[in-house]
Amino acid sequence: MTAIDILRKLVSFDVFGGEPNLPLANWIKSYLEQLGVEVHQGFNEEKTKAFIYARVGPAADGGMVLSGHLDVVPVEGQDWVTNPFELIETADKLYARGSCDMKGFIACCLALVPQMQAAQLKKPFYLAFSYDEEIGCRSGDAIAMAIKDHYPEDIPYALIGEPSMLRPTVGQKGICFLKTVVKGSEGHSSRILEEVSAIHESMRLINWLEQKMLDLVSKSRDDRFVPPQSSIHVGQIHAGIAPNVIADSCEFRWDVRTIPADDMQAILDEFDAFCRTREDELRSIFPAFKIETTKIHPIVPALDTPDDSPIVSLMRKIGNDAPLDAVSYAAEAGQFARNGYHAIICGPGSIAQAHRANEFIDKEQMKLGQDMLSALIEEFAR
């Protein structure tokens, strides 16, 4: 099958982040098994979602993981001209949800498996396709660990094929989504000094977060990123029923994006300590006062692959001499790095075309993506 034929099949499975993916995972599994590849799967607790990994080539040290995610972002509320789950081919573009982010890359990998098998590889490739990436890279650590656990050989490299226009990307911000719930007391608005308004207190917490961000911005920057600093942002807030009723509950949702120099956990710990002091203070007015913050997903670690990393040298060796890049979006590269791989993001298509209506990938990028893999195959057959 050509990469475009495979992509047509992959985009027809409308698997969103958080949703079951077995029909898609099983289609890939049987595609690979028909080629004689031994496929392994790891599951979520309910066994409704699977990640897939497989080795193509010999059980030898020095191989590379080719990583992609099987889920896509929703299409709800977006102004699609065509059916997002049908691949629409024009002279130079391929339209569909996931065409760019990132089933295009997965299709390139799958299409080149026969070439890998024919190449007398000295070092193997490991295909690694995850689930729930779009809702916080939830299976990134599990798949990175499963591969190291399963195969005894040394696996130094991981290439994450997120759309980067095939620019080797060595930096990624750390990301965490959080939810804070403030429980105050209710009452008539005239009693505001005798009660604890969850809205007023949330405002103080949000101010603290904004001030924390400004402190970080003044202390550390990393010019590889746009913007070059960490950010903290409150994107949702829900509270209150009327102007004259003190709100007893307020919930806000926020995100933190950190450059590698800033420590995500330290920021969250500091916020937590501030919340505990507010609780101590306000419990004298309302004993049941409470602030609870939960992570919506585990922290996605930043990626900070050094410019002289062996995987950068490898990319240079196969002729990719594009300038090194860094991105502000979440990807599984940080998790592969945390699990001991030299990790890089480098895939076809542009992030500018991802997550939006009428998502597409240029056919030229699909070709260049396959060219990159062919060059890696040649290098690993040497």
162/362 with CB nearer Zn ion: 162
Taking the complex as a whole, the smallest distance from the CB of residue 78 to Zn ion amounts, in Å, to 16
Taking the complex as a whole, the smallest distance from the CB of residue 71 to Zn ion amounts, in Å, to 9
Q: How far apart are CA 261 and CA 284, in angstroms?
A: 39
Among residues 101, 195, 262, 304, the one that binds Zn ion under rule CB under 5 A: 101
Taking the complex as a whole, the smallest distance from the CB of residue 355 to Zn ion amounts, in Å, to 8
Our measurement of the distance from residue 56's CA atom to the centroid of its chain's CA atoms, rounded to an integer in Å, reads 25
**What is the DSSP secondary-structure string of 123-185?**
S-EEEEEESS-TTT-TTHHHHHHHHHHH--S---EEEEEEESTT--EEEE-EEEEEEEEEE--
105/157 with CB nearer Zn ion: 105
Work out whether 222 is an interface residue with Zn ion (CB under 5 A).
Answer: no
198/330 with CB nearer Zn ion: 330
Residue 16 near residue 44, CB atoms below 8 Å? no
- The residue range among 93-101, 203-211, 231-239, 241-249 that interacts with Zn ion, by the rule CB under 5 A, is 93-101
147/330 with CB nearer Zn ion: 330
Question: Residue 154: is it exposed, middle or buried by C-beta count within 10 angstroms (0-12/13-18/19+)?
Answer: exposed
**Tokens encoding 323:** 């300038």
Best CA proximity match to 267, nearest among 277, 251, 255, 250: 255
Closest residue to Zn ion: CB criterion: 101
- The residue range among 98-106, 181-189, 283-291, 293-301 that interacts with Zn ion, by the rule CB under 5 A, is 98-106
- The residue range among 143-151, 161-169, 191-199, 342-350 that interacts with Zn ion, by the rule CB under 5 A, is 161-169
67/229 with CB nearer Zn ion: 67
Q: How far apart are CA 242 and CA 189, in angstroms?
A: 9
Taking the complex as a whole, the smallest distance from the CB of residue 272 to Zn ion amounts, in Å, to 30
- The residue range among 159-167, 206-214, 270-278, 317-325 that interacts with Zn ion, by the rule CB under 5 A, is 159-167
Q: How far apart are CA 297 and CA 281, in angstroms?
A: 30
Work out whether 128 is an interface residue with Zn ion (CB under 5 A).
Answer: no
- The residue range among 70-78, 95-103, 299-307, 374-382 that interacts with Zn ion, by the rule CB under 5 A, is 95-103
Taking the complex as a whole, the smallest distance from the CB of residue 352 to Zn ion amounts, in Å, to 13
97/363 with CB nearer Zn ion: 97
Best CA proximity match to 290, nearest among 256, 318, 343, 250: 250
Best CA proximity match to 4, nearest among 65, 87, 92: 87
**Cα–Cα distances in Å, from 248 out to 156, 194, 222, 232, 291?**
53, 13, 41, 25, 12
Residue 345 near residue 303, CB atoms below 8 Å? yes
Work out whether 102 is an interface residue with Zn ion (CB under 5 A).
Answer: yes
63/163 with CB nearer Zn ion: 163
- The residue range among 45-53, 102-110, 300-308, 338-346 that interacts with Zn ion, by the rule CB under 5 A, is 102-110
Q: What are phi and psi of 380, to 5 degrees?
A: -75, -10
129/271 with CB nearer Zn ion: 129
- The site that binds Zn ion (CB under 5 A) totals a number of residues, namely 3
Positions touching Zn ion (CB under 5 A) are: 101-102, 162
